[in-house]
């Protein structure tokens, strides 16, 4: 397993739509392992494949508290099939270091995906789990936290991020 570099906005791969996984090859299994290790090292609660430079439809998440055992979940080819209600959650993103914004999401989602063993599953989620599933699913479609902000907030965040990059990264 390896800790992969996390792509940071405005890296263009973050805007790429990922492609469906056709089979759980050794490459995909290695990607899942590396994504989990990278997510834990960051530390984060979710990570989409394009955030580490891979264009496969895969994300990992683990919302267990530090005092709880790990609860790693793997979503391959996820599809949100039902949404209910609304909530606002203060979200961060590993691709937007030191940024957290209030984001409106569905309060409950039902998602269908494949696990790393190839079994199709469906699950309902609410609270933080629902937020992370929606956030990471949007990454797989090339959508970012910025896209959920109003124009003024978006410009403020973009300006703040551009000031943090060194001159040779601009």
Show which residues are catalytic.
Answer: 136
87's tokens? 């909530």
Contacts of 114 (CB under 8 A, 6+ apart): 21, 24, 75, 76, 77, 120, 121
CA pair distance 123, 55, nearest whole angstrom: 24
HSE-up of 3 (CA within 13 Å, CB side)? 7
Of 125, 22, 138, 23, nearest to 73 by C-alpha is 125
């Amino acid at each position: 397993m390896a800790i992969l570099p996390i792509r940071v906005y405005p890296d263009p791969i973050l805007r790429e739509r990922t492609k469906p996984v056709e089979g759980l090859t050794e490459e995909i299994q290695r990607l899942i392992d590396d994504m989990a290790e990278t997510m834990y090292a960051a530390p984060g609660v979710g990570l989409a494949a394009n955030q580490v430079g891979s264009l496969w439809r895969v994300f990992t998440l683990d919302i267990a508290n530090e005092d709880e055992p790990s609860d790693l979940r793997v979503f391959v080819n996820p599809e949100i099939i039902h949404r209910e209600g609304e909530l606002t959650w203060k979200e961060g993103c590993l691709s937007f270091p030191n940024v957290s914004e209030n984001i409106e999401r569905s309060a409950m989602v039902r998602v269908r995906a494949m696990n790393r063993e190839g079994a199709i599953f469906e699950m309902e989620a609410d609270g933080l789990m629902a937020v992370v599933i929606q956030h990471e699913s949007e990454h797989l479609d090339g959508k970012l936290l910025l896209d959920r902000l109003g124009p003024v907030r978006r410009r403020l965040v973009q300006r703040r991020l551009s000031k943090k990059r060194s001159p040779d990264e601009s």
